[in-house]
Structure 1
Amino acid sequence: MSTVADKLAKKSTRKSGGKQVRLRLVYVDFWSAVKLAFLGAIAFAVVTMVSFFLVYMVLQATGVISQVDEILGSFTDGAFSLSETVGLPQVMAFAAVVSILNLIVFTVLGAVVAGIYNLAVKVTGGLLVGFTSN
Structure 2
Amino acid sequence: MSTVADKLAKKSTHRTSAKQVRLRLVYIDFWSALKLSFLAAVALAVVTIVSFLLVYLVVRTTGVLSTVDDLFQSISDGGVSLETYIGFPQVMAFAVVVAILNLIVVTVLGAVVAGIYNLAVKITGGLLVGFTSH
Do these two structures clear the TM 0.5 threshold for a shared fold by scoring above it? yes
In structure 1, the gaps of 5 or more residues are 1-7
Match of 2:10 in 1: 11
Q: C-alpha deviations, 1:37-88, integer Å up to 9, x for none?
A: 0000000000000000000000000000000000000000111101111011
Match of 1:50 in 2: 50
TM-score w.r.t. the length of structure 1 is 0.90
Q: List, as ranges, runs of 4+ consecutive aligned residues in structure 1 with deviation greater than 4 Å.
A: none
- The 1-side partners of 2:77 and 2:95 are apart by 30
TM-score w.r.t. the length of structure 2 is 0.90
- The 2-side partners of 1:132 and 1:111 are apart by 30
Q: CA RMSD in A?
A: 1.5
In the alignment, residue 83 of structure 1 is paired with which amino acid? E
Q: Secondary structure at the match of 2:17?
A: coil
Q: Secondary structure at the match of 2:23?
A: strand
Q: Secondary structure at the match of 1:23?
A: strand
Counting matched residue pairs gives 127
Q: Secondary structure at the match of 1:41?
A: helix
Q: Secondary structure at the match of 1:80?
A: coil
- The 1-side partners of 2:19 and 2:124 are apart by 26
Shift, 1:10, TM fit: 4.9
In the alignment, residue 61 of structure 1 is paired with which amino acid? T
Q: C-alpha deviations, 1:11-31, integer Å up to 9, x for none?
A: 332643300111111000001
Q: Residues 79-94 of structure 1 correspond to what in structure 2 (within 5 A)?
A: 79-94=79-94
Match of 2:120 in 1: 120
Match of 2:3 in 1: none
- The 2-side partners of 1:40 and 1:61 are apart by 31
- The 2-side partners of 1:86 and 1:10 are apart by 59
Is 1:20 the counterpart of 2:2 in the alignment? no
In structure 2, the gaps of 5 or more residues are 1-6
Identity of aligned residues (%): 67
- The 2-side partners of 1:124 and 1:17 are apart by 32
